[in-house]
Structure 1
């Protein structure tokens, strides 16, 4: 009788939504809570000082010529709260990003499924995507808590909204839709080189294969492809990219070595994909019934974006994934940094989802294969796996640990004490206490360097330049 009451309670849609709200809250709680202890670090001080010295637009010109072609990224990194002497902004920003990140996933899922799923199913879909992404991030700190790196995070959020808008309007794209998507492409391509690679290839593939399938040039898709390609070239050929590559920061003879870049891009893409594979495979057990339901509930001209031959879709996905690593190996002979890998993992997740649905639609359309529309007993397997993943995953464990042990709070107190000491000391040379508390959730690991204020000899000494003093750590 008790089991029957539990089963009846769970079948109630309102009760299921309550469970989802609790699940989202539990997932986000430690990450939002530790946001209150975030502090500016490393490059945040450099960008603040540059904007103060050069002005907002002077800063854009300077970085375009000397460091980076990420024309949208520099617009973001130049909005440092420290420019206005605000430390509170560094605590508010990650909270806002986390909340918007959740909304972006929900928006994406609703558009991708064209609202064919129930509210409970849509929420669960979005929750599993968010859960997977947070678990598979190689570094949480540089993605959500480092202000200078927000052009990575904002790019992924913008990508979710972009594709959500595209899927929602795909059956009948108007001129207004094209204009809006072109504007979005211009902004997204200028965020970072990883987003650039994916969007340029995907928009070009959309035009090429749409034209081949319909046996005539698809002008709207061509416009999107040309916009992405034009601004991609503009970003890649910026003088700042060349200046950074030749700056001496990466003094290796393997730069611009084609064979080295091709080989290592392939090996590293396989290496990182296999890390995500177990979680993606378990996630697929939930996606397959959802795809089958969507196929059966479709109306005329709906889900046209999923009716593509899986060989083409998988080839494009694999090609994009491989090429994501090439720019890094080509320019600096190293794999992408951890923040860049976060973006690659993000695209891997989206690409995997898309291909699962393409395969299911193709199997049901071309071969009339009967596919289950309910997870059935597999839901317990999936549930157990994600529960074990949550309890053992470093990102989730460290977030709770940083919060509950007080490590994040003590770190914040140390940084306040450091800052006050520097501001109140007139001497040029200052002995700064080494950090005793290193919360991995909000502070990027830097080996033997000080993760918050590196010295002049290490990591350019941004804090030293900002405060105009020389630090020695004791």
Structure 2
């Protein structure tokens, strides 16, 4: 099978399928438009100044300091809607590239480039196919900065941390150590979920060094202390309490704990059995066999399977619990995207660990499955593509013209507002938003965040949506 992976025909096949899967998501960036909330943050900065704006966000919105600082200067600050689209597009490419670096960092001594690309494309295919909200994941820039950027930073941390222990060069060690410290300080300020995942990861790394390698890693200890301090600053923000008070079931321990277990169980069933993850995993078994047979196999794949399984469940539970505890509602959209990516990462790691464990006991890594079994797995994936999924929806949004109409309608709206002589303006609501994109429209009253964002951007006293006649 590995020989087939490295054949020219197979490379062309994999490349062709990958292009067909990713292409519609790339094209959709052209039709993307800012959601009105994205106009709000730069507007506040222009009205109050950067420091006063950040103080306002911290007191009344929450402790997401890193996110608020970055989104305050999103391209809309410079009156560039095209810059907004380019930024979202570049973050899509960056996510893909850093994911490749992350996979390569721990497999490059074992797998060749074709095999690493197959692994990357398999993970990315599953993510695109089943991610709960493509629009919030890749097109709403606010959400990208809020949730996908910390995922990118966390992956860069693990890449850099691994390289600190590999390279002897002082300059390289200093460079990668700096990246780790920046991550330790900044991740807490994006969202509670990434803060939790990153802090737990640092604690696990420290405990591994202390109990297994019998040493105290001073630099890791400094990173952990800084990270926990950053967590404290983020979680103690007055805005967190202000936001949680808006939700009925927030800070209810038993409700949050029970609902977290129930929710994670339902999501695991959905992710495993309603997506191609099992078929894709089977197709990747030859790649996994190569990893576990290699003399260069990393010790991270040679642990007891119960540990990564327990850790994945703990991470998923804690991530769900912290959202239920703070907001009283189950994870949705962009939050669920984060949890799903965490699941995929843990799933493939567990598969390699399981195969490594059983191979040490039964020595089966040399076994070759009949060729038809891979054909069956591939056909299952093709059959699942017929079902409703994000890839099919992306093509539908493009071919049906929904994306084009959405783009044109908003361009018409912008022109109407700009040409309106009065300081008040009434605009028509959108007939339809493409399912692959994200848009939360302005309200019928001028006092919402969405309306205020428009009003500050277009320098109007009032911009509201036309009320629909019942």
The match for 1:303 among 298, 301, 320 is 298
* Alpha-carbon distance, 1:214 to partner: 3.1
Give the secondary structure class of the aligned counterpart of 1:36.
Answer: helix
| Residue aligning to 1:293 | 290
Instruction: Between 170-179 and 217-226, report the one with greater CA deviation.
Output: 170-179
In 1, Cα distance between the equivalents of 2:392 and 2:411? 26
Is 1:331 equivalent to 2:326 in the alignment? yes
| Residue aligning to 2:257 | 262
The match for 2:313 among 293, 311, 318 is 318
In 2, Cα distance between the equivalents of 1:266 and 1:290? 33
In 1, Cα distance between the equivalents of 2:362 and 2:166? 24
Give the secondary structure class of the aligned counterpart of 1:88.
Answer: helix
Is 1:39 equivalent to 2:29 in the alignment? no
In 2, Cα distance between the equivalents of 1:81 and 1:459? 18
In 1, Cα distance between the equivalents of 2:321 and 2:201? 17
Asked if the contact 1:112–1:168 (Cα under 8 Å) also holds between the matched residues in 2, the reply is no
Asked if the contact 2:308–2:350 (Cα under 8 Å) also holds between the matched residues in 1, the reply is yes
* Alpha-carbon distance, 1:123 to partner: 1.0
Is 1:340 equivalent to 2:335 in the alignment? yes
In 1, Cα distance between the equivalents of 2:84 and 2:239? 27
Aligned Cα root-mean-square deviation (Å): 2.6
Asked if the contact 1:20–1:123 (Cα under 8 Å) also holds between the matched residues in 2, the reply is no
After TM superposition, the score normalised by the length of structure 1 is: 0.88
Which runs of 5 or more residues in structure 1 are unaligned? 1-6, 445-450
* Alpha-carbon distance, 1:394 to partner: 2.8
Gap change, CA 1:163 and 1:386, over 3 Å in 2 = farther
Mapping of 1:37-436 within 5 angstroms?
37-151=31-145, 152-168=147-163, 176=174, 177-246=176-245, 249-250=246-247, 252=248, 254-278=249-273, 279-299=276-296, 303-365=298-360, 367-372=361-366, 376-377=370-371, 378-436=373-431
* Alpha-carbon distance, 1:323 to partner: 0.5
Which runs of 5 or more residues in structure 2 are unaligned? none
| Residue aligning to 1:447 | none
| Residue aligning to 1:468 | 461
* Alpha-carbon distance, 1:379 to partner: 2.2
* Alpha-carbon distance, 1:160 to partner: 2.9
Asked if the contact 2:442–2:465 (Cα under 8 Å) also holds between the matched residues in 1, the reply is no
In 1, Cα distance between the equivalents of 2:163 and 2:284? 19
Instruction: Between 225-234 and 126-135, report the one with greater CA deviation.
Output: 225-234
Asked if the contact 1:104–1:157 (Cα under 8 Å) also holds between the matched residues in 2, the reply is yes
After TM superposition, the score normalised by the length of structure 2 is: 0.88
* Alpha-carbon distance, 1:45 to partner: 1.7
| Residue aligning to 1:448 | none
In 2, Cα distance between the equivalents of 1:132 and 1:277? 11
Is 1:21 equivalent to 2:15 in the alignment? yes
* Alpha-carbon distance, 1:229 to partner: 2.5
Asked if the contact 2:40–2:449 (Cα under 8 Å) also holds between the matched residues in 1, the reply is no
* Alpha-carbon distance, 1:170 to partner: 5.1
